[in-house]
Homo-oligomer: A and B are copies of this chain.
């Protein structure tokens, strides 16, 4: 059974796509499921495909030769990822791991040209995505240069709830399981420091957190922490 075009027509990357073109775009694509904690692709593996996340959350991880890891970003539903082809790369620069059970659409690299010509604004959207990730990564370098650990961690948690938050009665919760270690790997810190700070924030009523769960109950207060102006 062919993939249904309703999967993609309302995504920003495919804006302005006509019905028959949508079918043609989906023809070379395959959809697959990835169970939680399985790899969609692996760092340094030859890049043969690019991907669109239909449902779930993907963690993008870079590993040093010495085996230390860093979480480059999380991918949300509807986002492109693994687009090495758009950067003229032959290998993936990082691994992509399902943070929860995921459904993914995969195209062979050869379809890139066709998508660009068939979908108005597809190329521009993809390159804008890369540009945004470059900006974001540079901001992260600045953060690591100029801000202390507490401000960085507060900023990272804020970004997570903004990009991947889900409203609950207690506040905004990060919509996928995330450990202290994960937050440490996003901020260049350690799970110990993250744990200490989150405990302190819980004392102050800014967050509520538990096993692989983080809920921000007072985003404004957390912003003040991120800016190092915490009412002191």
Contact = CB atoms under 8 A, between A and B. Distances in A.
Interface of A is mostly: helix
B141 A188 contact: yes
A93 B188 contact: no
Given A133-B134, A138-B93, A144 B145 contact: yes
A124 B112 CA distance: 12
State the number of copies, please.
2
A124 B93 contact: no
A159 to B, nearest CB: 14
A79 B3 CA distance: 43
Nearest to A137: B137
Contacts of A127: 86-88, 127, 130
Given A88-B124, A130-B87, A130-B131, A62 B138 contact: yes
Interface of A: 62, 64, 66, 68, 70, 72, 86-89, 93-94, 124-125, 127-128, 130-135, 137-138, 140-142, 144-146, 185, 188
What 5 A-B pairs come out closest when comparing CB atoms? A87-B131, A145-B188, A88-B128, A144-B144, A137-B137
